[in-house]
Each structure stands twice: as structure tokens, then as C-alpha cells.
Chain A
Amino acid sequence: MLRLGRHTFADDATLMMAIVNRTPDSFYDRGATWAEEKALERVAQVVEQGAEIVDIGGIKAAPGAVIDVAEEKTRVVDFVARVRSAYPGVVISVDTWRAEVGRAVCEAGADLLNDAWGGHDPGLAEVAAEFDVALVCTHTGGATPRTRPHRVAYDDVVADAIAHTVGEAERAVGLGVARESLLIDPAHDFGKNTLHSLELTRRLDEMTATGWPVLVSLSNKDFVGESLDLPVGERLTGTLAATAVAAWHGARIFRVHEVVETRQVVDMVATIRGDLAPARLVRGLA
């Protein structure tokens, strides 16, 4: 069983985590959901499309204007409360690396803390334990939040990602986070060049073999763009190909911009794997 705050899911369930940015400057939507009402419309849309999780973020990942704790809280805390009351059936994740923000959003009703910067603030796991919410343990190679990789090197990026994320998950268990509420994420492009992200995709089965549920965040990222030499806005096909490989290797949660397309790919792969029966069967069997 996977337990994300108030919500539980079967061990073989795959989940769509839809990105909802409360930012004026995120790379893909460029502020399309910066206004609170626009962000709420985005939530309505992805819930209608079947997303099980919304991942609300108040700070873009790339370098830019400094967003302090107070500003981050202004962007996300009340919004979490609004989503909680309007959509009690959806899992609310918040993308933050700060324990102080984590605490505020948990009080507002968050179910999951998506620590996209790899445990930079060790207090975040303590907040997850205190509020009995779920936690994503990511690998950034020790990168400082909101920095780009520059000449990063690993002996073995997959081994490093596994060692770090599993170590963080075990540390979280030690702090009191429920074992069934922990996810690990290799964090494509975070502290990694494109070859690192490709290798993590190719060898994702090693990560799923740890037994911890694996979250992947592939959507429209630079490793897709560089692989195909395509700009943001033309990366959906490449994203879906990477999604298919990750799903084949057993990834469970998919952090996405495009819910409908990703759900189709993930269900198709699960059907090919034999984990999911076809939706309907008639051909040759009537």
C-alpha cells in the first residue's frame, strides 16, 4: 500500500502528479497559472483529466529572482487550503525544499512534500514525520537549490542516485515518516547533464528494484530537448518516449504537464507488461 497523507493507493497503481505552478516564470508555462484563479482552473482541469496528485510549486527550479520564505508561503499556503476544500479527493503535493514552508502547507492540508532539492533542508523530513504526510526523496548530487549543473561528474550516477535517495528514505523512516509514505526520485536534470539523465532513464529498473516506489519527473525537460534538439514546447513526443521507458522499468508516479497523454502512455505500457488488463477485449474473441 502507498499512503499519501489522507489517501491510499494499491501497490500496483500508477499515479499522475500534475504540475501546478504558482510562479510567474516557470520554464514550460511561463506564468500561465501565476494568477490564483488561473492556478485553480489548472487544478480543475487536471482533476477532470484524472490526475491523482497535484504538485503545487511557488518557486521555479532555475536560477532567478530570490524568493524568500515569506513570499513562497504567500504563493502556496492559502492556495493549498483552497484546493484542499475544493478538491478533497485529490492528493496535494507541494514542491518545496524548505521545512518552514513545508510546515505551513501541511497545516493548510498538504498530503505530500516533494523535496525536489534532495534533502537540502534536513528539517523537511521532520515536518513530514510530524504531520504524517508523504515525502519524495530526490537525488541532486548535492546541488544547491536553484543552481544549474556545471561540469558535474559521477563515478556511477545510478548508484549515486540509489544510495542517496534510499539513504534519505531510511533517514526519514528513522525520523518517523511512515515507510509506506516515502517515494524516491532520481531527479532528471537536477545536478545532472543530459547523459546522466539518459543513463538514469535507461537503468531505472535498478532504482525500482530497491522496492521503494519511484517517482519520475521527465516532463519537457532539457535532457529531452537536447536528445532531440527541440525547444520547450516541442518536447511532448520525446517526453512520452522517456515516460514509456520509465513505466516499463516500473516507475509508479509521473510528474507531468500533460496528464491525458501521459496516462495513456503509462496505461499502454502497463497493459504491455501484463500489469493491467486491456480496457476492453473483443477482437478475435466475439
Chain B
Amino acid sequence: MRLSASVASVVVVPAAPLLLPEHAGRADVVPGLRAAVRRALEGLHDVAVLAEPAWGEPVAAHLLRDIGLLEAPLGEAGALLVAGDGSARRGEKAPGHLDERAAPYDAVVEEALREGDAVTLASLDLDLGAELLAAGAPVLRALGDAVLASGRAVQTADLAYADDPFGVRYWVARWDLA
């Protein structure tokens, strides 16, 4: 993937199906996450999406629609929305039960998102990610690759949300590129 010069910001959000309106119960189970997503997307325009097709793409499309943004092709995009999250094996009640390797794996990704560290994302172990049910590993690695290939620096990085309310690690992060 090539990151065009027009892309000024990257936002990372979870690809959780429960964010979709057709999967919403009467009570919002992730109000804090939703608020963080809205804040991270504030002020963006012409947003391209990087996500796996099964859940990431519909979730990303919904989150953009939800705040009145339209999806743009990557070549013309002012920002990139990456829908990807961490391991779903973070505890005994997690969807994938507990795998002791999940926490350290997610910690590496989380630190990279907090620090704007594209090098670390570009070197993510996809086999381990798959074992840990980290659905976001491929897209986060692709994000790292794209930022490195563009030669652009991450000017500011902000990790606005990091939590695992249901045993899956969710992040909301925003990078502004130089």
C-alpha cells in the first residue's frame, strides 16, 4: 500500500462488530470507546480505510458515516482510518480464552501506537498474531509498512483509549504525519 502525500493523519480504531448499529443492544456497552473514536476522527476529511473485509471494513464505514464523513480513495485521502485491534485471548473469559503470550504481544503494539513507532508495527509477527486471535495484526503491520515506505515521520502520536472490556484489546490512536 502506498501512502499518498495528502494523508496527514492516521487513526486506529477497533474492528469490533458490537460497534455496528445492527449489533447494538438497548444499552451502549462501550460508550467510552465510542466517544474516543469520535474525538479521534474530529476534523478529518476524505478518509481512506485500511481494514480486513469481514468486520473491519463495515465497522470503519459505519464509524465514518456516524460522524458524517465519507470514505475516500487512498490516492485522494486526507486521512487514513485503520480498523484493527489486539488479541482476543487476554483472559479466561476472553473469546479465545487465556493465552499468556497475549498481554506481552499487545503491550508491544500498544507502545508502538503510543509512540508513533512504525518500525515496530512493520515487524509484527503475523503467525503469533493469528494464534493470539489478534485480528488487527495484518492491518497494523501494513500501516507500519506504509508509513515507512512513505518516508514520512510521525509528528505526534496520541493513544486516546486502550482497554479490554471483553477480553479483546481495543485501541484508539491518532498519528499526525509530518
Q: Is B24's CB within 8 Å of the partner chain A?
A: yes
Q: How does the 8 Å CB contact mask read for B157-175 relative to A, with 1 for contact and 0 for none?
A: 0000000011110000000
Q: Is A260's CB within 8 Å of the partner chain B?
A: no
> Once the chains bind, are B25 and A277 in contact (CB under 8 Å)?
yes
> Once the chains bind, are A277 and B24 in contact (CB under 8 Å)?
yes
Chain A residues near B23 (CB, 8 Å)?
281, 285
- The residue of chain A having its C-beta at the shortest distance from the C-beta of B95 within the complex is A286
Interface residues of A in 246-286 (CB under 8 A from B): 276-282, 284-286
> Once the chains bind, are B18 and A282 in contact (CB under 8 Å)?
yes
From residue A272, how far is it (CB to closest CB) to chain B in Å?
A: 14
> Once the chains bind, are B95 and A284 in contact (CB under 8 Å)?
yes
A284-B95, A286-B18, A286-B88 as given contacts; A277 in contact with B26, CB under 8 Å: yes
A279 to B29, CA, bound (A): 10
From residue B53, how far is it (CB to closest CB) to chain A in Å?
A: 17
Q: Is B98's CB within 8 Å of the partner chain A?
A: no
A152 to B3, CA, bound (A): 82
Q: Is B27's CB within 8 Å of the partner chain A?
A: yes
Q: How does the 8 Å CB contact mask read for A133-175 relative to B, with 1 for contact and 0 for none?
A: 0000000000000000000000000000000000000000000
From residue A106, how far is it (CB to closest CB) to chain B in Å?
A: 35
From residue A271, how far is it (CB to closest CB) to chain B in Å?
A: 10
* Chain B residues touching A, majority SS: loop
Q: Is B16's CB within 8 Å of the partner chain A?
A: yes
Chain A residues near B17 (CB, 8 Å)?
284-285
A281 to B19, CA, bound (A): 10
> Once the chains bind, are A281 and B95 in contact (CB under 8 Å)?
no
From residue B21, how far is it (CB to closest CB) to chain A in Å?
A: 10
> Once the chains bind, are A285 and B18 in contact (CB under 8 Å)?
yes
From residue A41, how far is it (CB to closest CB) to chain B in Å?
A: 31
> Once the chains bind, are A281 and B25 in contact (CB under 8 Å)?
yes
From residue B1, how far is it (CB to closest CB) to chain A in Å?
A: 27
- The residue of chain A having its C-beta at the shortest distance from the C-beta of B28 within the complex is A280
> Once the chains bind, are B26 and A276 in contact (CB under 8 Å)?
yes
From residue A29, how far is it (CB to closest CB) to chain B in Å?
A: 33
Chain A residues near B24 (CB, 8 Å)?
277, 281
Q: How does the 8 Å CB contact mask read for B29-47 relative to A, with 1 for contact and 0 for none?
A: 1000000000000000000
Chain B residues near A276 (CB, 8 Å)?
26
From residue B22, how far is it (CB to closest CB) to chain A in Å?
A: 10
Chain B residues near A280 (CB, 8 Å)?
25-27, 29
User: Among the listed A277, A282, A284, which residue makes an inter-chain contact with B29, where contact means beta carbons less than 8 Å apart?
Assistant: A282
A281 to B26, CA, bound (A): 8
A145 to B160, CA, bound (A): 68
A278 to B26, CA, bound (A): 6
Interface residues of B in 7-24 (CB under 8 A from A): 16-18, 23-24
- The residue of chain B having its C-beta at the shortest distance from the C-beta of A278 within the complex is B25
> Once the chains bind, are B26 and A279 in contact (CB under 8 Å)?
yes
A276 to B26, CA, bound (A): 8
From residue B122, how far is it (CB to closest CB) to chain A in Å?
A: 27
Chain B residues near A278 (CB, 8 Å)?
25-26
Chain B residues near A286 (CB, 8 Å)?
16, 18, 88, 95, 165-168
From residue A14, how far is it (CB to closest CB) to chain B in Å?
A: 14
From residue B59, how far is it (CB to closest CB) to chain A in Å?
A: 11
> Once the chains bind, are A285 and B26 in contact (CB under 8 Å)?
no
- The residue of chain A having its C-beta at the shortest distance from the C-beta of B88 within the complex is A286
Chain A residues near B168 (CB, 8 Å)?
286
Pull 7 A–B residue pairs with CB atoms less than 8 Å apart, ordered by A: A276-B26, A279-B25, A280-B29, A282-B166, A285-B18, A286-B16, A286-B168
What 17 new A-B contacts, CB under 8 Å, besides A277-B24, A280-B29, A282-B166? A276-B26, A277-B25, A277-B26, A278-B26, A279-B25, A279-B27, A281-B23, A281-B24, A281-B25, A281-B29, A282-B29, A284-B95, A285-B17, A285-B23, A286-B18, A286-B167, A286-B168
CB-CB nearest 6 A-B residue pairs: A286-B166, A281-B25, A285-B18, A280-B25, A285-B17, A278-B25
Interface residues of B (CB under 8 A from A): 16-18, 23-27, 29, 88, 95, 165-168
